[in-house]
Amino acid sequence: MEETAVQRLARVLKLLVTAVLVLNLFCLLLVPGIVAYVSDGGPDLLVRAMKEEAAMWLGQGNEAHFPMAVVFLTSWAAVWRGAYTSLLTLFYWLCGVCTALILWQAKKVLDTILAGEPFQLANAKALKGAAICCWLISGAALVRLILWLWMERNAAPLFTYNTLFVPAFFMAGLLFLVMSALFRQAAQLQEDQDLTI
């Protein structure tokens, strides 16, 4: 049987989703190091450290050691010493795990499209799981925003990416839930049609 245009697109999307999933899982390992750098000196310190590290890797630096690698290794224990770094690490890990689960659900849906049988209850369940993950991210971002506003005692946290996470992932969850209902309805119609024949 010849592959349809939708299946070709699904094959490309599956490749992209798998690549992003692997990258997402790799980034989860880097979370404590990034939190350690950002909490010690802000994002500027992280950017400066990355530039110095790149210069050393390219042979332009004077020293032979890798301070960034040392910080990333020691940060696994260090981030748990303070409440702020602990909460930030847990927030990033929760978001990272949820996005990994969303990508995994997308891969499962793409697998059924590649098999030529997209209208299954399994796809409806996968999309509902993705919706729940989106709402977890939105809720965690809201809790983080409230805590951040309480700690800062000013409106500065309202102008960060964290504020955008709340409505964006809430709406994405609603969209996944609508798609889940559509797949569930299509699967039931498909089942009724199969029983009629």
Give 4-53 pLDDT, tens digit per residue: 899 999 999 999 999 999 999 999 998 998 888 777 766 566 566 667 76
Which pTM value belongs to this model?
0.83
What Å distances lie between residue 192 and 115, 185, 187, CA to CA? 20, 11, 9
Mean pLDDT, residues 49-69 taken together: 63
pLDDT of residue 164: 94
Q: How confident is the model at residue 2 (pLDDT cuts 50, 70, 90)?
A: confident
**Per-residue pLDDT reduced to its tens digit, 92-122:** 999 999 999 999 999 999 999 999 898 899 9
**Per-residue pLDDT reduced to its tens digit, 117-157:** 988 999 999 999 999 999 999 999 999 999 989 988 999 88
What Å distances lie between residue 140 and 29, 73, 96, 157, 189, CA to CA? 20, 26, 12, 15, 37
Per-residue pLDDT for 58 more than 70? Answer: no
